[in-house]
């Protein structure tokens, strides 16, 4: 059975999770800090890491960074408050498998843990990076939509697909940039050849050159055999570089040469190899504005640009996405949800979906999992999501005021002032202030950071 590393600084919550996972047959090692988690990775082998996002001595992503620096790939799941969904979604591009919001539902946790472990076993045992190689794979999880934004997107896909132009796909995390890349590949003359997808967020500086261009035996510590790079694997087809902005400057130089000359040189090799590859890149950041990306490489990969709209800008396609994800979740979980309660529809329509399609898919999957009948009710949605869009008076019937400082009753516009007022009343005792605000201490810390309150 899988050995799981749990990094969580709330000792009570950690004990609850540990006991639950052990009852399900998993071996669990618990650490209460970033430092403890990193040390555990040095001395033990794990098949999965469960990480609290905010820890006393740092953030959970530091453990993921340490893992990557060791050249290891272990699926990791971030546990975070609902208010940190934007951050959690961005963490996925840094190599995190998935995220789960607190309070954690046991059934949802078990589902995510099993999916993460199954995803790991689907890769080769010696994998060092998320790489998928497909040939003419069907677009099983893609909804075209019929809105104006959707029509424009697919017009661009149809226009550029038959060419050999390099394409840069820009869009927020979770908008479906890889599906756009796959659609371009499948509509191109390379459709019968490999489509190789690389998540550059999982590539350390040391491993990036080896993964992209290959290496020869003995070229560096750990190079026990010759390795074929992904450029060579994708010859004749398409190489998709997701989150290309994560590549180091040195690797960018080598990538530019490979694109300009259509040749690569494996690490430690004296010879060069001719390749025939179309490159499609994706990013959710301003590459030139970041100051870390070569301008000549930017113009080389950006022969044609496609911007994937955020979900909030595709409201005309929203119901189609909902129906699709409900159907998929029913199939995967053996459920029979046929309709959504009116309250669920209202919440979905009012929410701004910062995590885009990825968040919608996760929320719907959780909702279907927690819905034993044919109708999904609001009780199956994350609690904080419900509070986020309800009018203050609807939450408890109470009226928000300085005398009633329940934070859930106040709009974001008044939150900062309310928090500062309550902190003063509590003489800056954060535990007492959180109690007065009717939120937990971590949520208070999150909001203080969000509003720049020292």
> In CATH, what number is assigned to the domain containing residue 328?
1.10.8.60
For residue 263 the two structure tokens come to 């040749």
- Position 57 in a domain: yes
Residue 257, pLDDT score: 92
For residue 116 the two structure tokens come to 């993460």
412-424 confidence digits (pLDDT tens): 556 677 788 888 8
329-388 confidence digits (pLDDT tens): 999 889 999 999 999 999 999 888 888 998 899 899 999 999 999 999 999 988 767 766
Question: Which of 371, 389, 407 marks a domain boundary?
Answer: 389
226-259 confidence digits (pLDDT tens): 888 899 999 999 999 998 998 988 899 999 999 9
Instruction: Mark whether 24 and 57 lie in a shared domain.
Output: yes
Alpha carbon distance 95, 114 (integer Å): 18
**pLDDT range class, residue 122, cuts 50, 70, 90:** very low
Residue whose pair of structure tokens reads 């940039």 in the numeric block: 177
Instruction: Mark whether 65 and 161 lie in a shared domain.
Output: no
Residues 6+ apart with CB under 8 A from 225: 217
255-290 confidence digits (pLDDT tens): 999 999 999 988 888 888 999 999 999 998 889 887
Instruction: Mark whether 429 and 363 lie in a shared domain.
Output: no
Question: Measuring CA to CA, how many Å separate 434 from each of 252, 337, 391, 445?
Answer: 47, 38, 21, 9
Instruction: Mark whether 43 and 74 lie in a shared domain.
Output: yes
Number of domains making up the chain: 4
- Position 352 in a domain: yes
Alpha carbon distance 275, 272 (integer Å): 10
Residue 141, pLDDT score: 56
Considering the chain, what is the average pLDDT of its residues? Answer: 82
Strand order in the sheet with 194-199: 131-135, 194-199, 238-242, 278-283, 167-170, 304-307
**pLDDT range class, residue 427, cuts 50, 70, 90:** confident
The percentage of the chain sitting over the pLDDT mark of 90, rounded to a whole number, equals 36
Instruction: Mark whether 137 and 88 lie in a shared domain.
Output: no
Does the pLDDT value for residue 113 go beyond 80? yes
- Position 126 in a domain: no
Question: Measuring CA to CA, how many Å separate 201 from each of 208, 230, 242, 243?
Answer: 10, 15, 8, 6
Structural domain of residue 141, as residue ranges? 131-309
């Amino acid at each position: 059975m899988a050995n799981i590393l749990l990094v969580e600084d709330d000792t009570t919550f950690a004990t609850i999770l540990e006991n639950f996972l052990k009852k399900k047959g998993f071996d669990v090692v618990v650490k209460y800090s970033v430092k403890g988690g990193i040390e555990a990775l040095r001395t033990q082998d794990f098949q999965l890491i469960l990480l609290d996002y905010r820890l006393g001595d740092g953030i959970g992503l530091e453990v993921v960074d340490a893992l990557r620096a060791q050249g290891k790939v272990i699926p990791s799941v971030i546990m975070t408050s609902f208010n940190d969904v934007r951050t959690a979604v961005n963490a996925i591009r840094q190599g995190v498998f998935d995220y789960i919001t607190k309070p954690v539902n046991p059934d949802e946790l078990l589902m995510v843990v099993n999916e993460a472990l199954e995803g790991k076993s689907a890769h080769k045992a010696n994998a060092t990076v998320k790489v998928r190689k497909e040939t003419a794979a069907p677009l099983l999880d893609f909804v075209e939509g019929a809105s104006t934004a959707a029509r424009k997107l697919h017009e661009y896909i149809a226009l550029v697909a038959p060419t050999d132009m390099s394409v840069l796909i820009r869009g927020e995390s979770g908008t479906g940039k890889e599906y756009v890349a796959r659609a371009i590949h499948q509509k191109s003359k390379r459709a019968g050849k490999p489509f190789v997808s690389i998540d550059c967020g999982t590539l350390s500086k040391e491993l990036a050159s080896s993964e992209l261009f290959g290496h020869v035996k003995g070229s560096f510590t750990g190079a026990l055999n010759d390795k074929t790079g992904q450029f060579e694997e994708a010859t004749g087809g398409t190489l998709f570089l997701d989150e290309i902005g994560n590549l180091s400057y040195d690797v960018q130089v080598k990538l530019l040469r490979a694109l300009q000359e259509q040749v690569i040189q494996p690490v430690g090799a004296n010879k060069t190899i001719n390749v025939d590859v179309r490159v499609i890149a994706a990013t959710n950041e301003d590459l030139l504005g970041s100051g870390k990306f070569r301008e000549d490489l930017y113009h080389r990969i950006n022969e044609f640009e496609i911007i994937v709209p955020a979900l909030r800008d595709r409201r005309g396609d929203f119901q189609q996405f909902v129906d699709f994800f409900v159907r998929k979740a029913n199939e995967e979980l053996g459920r029979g949800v046929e309709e959504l309660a009116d309250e669920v529809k209202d919440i979905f329509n009012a929410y701004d979906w910062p995590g885009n399609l990825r968040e919608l898919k996760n929320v719907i999957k959780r909702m279907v999992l927690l819905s034993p009948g044919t109708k999904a009710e609001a009780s199956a949605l994350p609690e904080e999501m419900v509070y986020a869009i309800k009018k203050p008076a609807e939450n408890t019937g109470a009226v928000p005021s300085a005398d009633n400082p329940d934070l859930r009753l106040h709009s974001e516009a008044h939150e900062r002032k309310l928090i500062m007022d309550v902190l003063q009343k509590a003489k800056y005792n954060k535990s007492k202030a959180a109690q007065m605000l009717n939120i937990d201490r971590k949520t208070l810390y999150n909001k203080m950071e969000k509003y720049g309150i020292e």
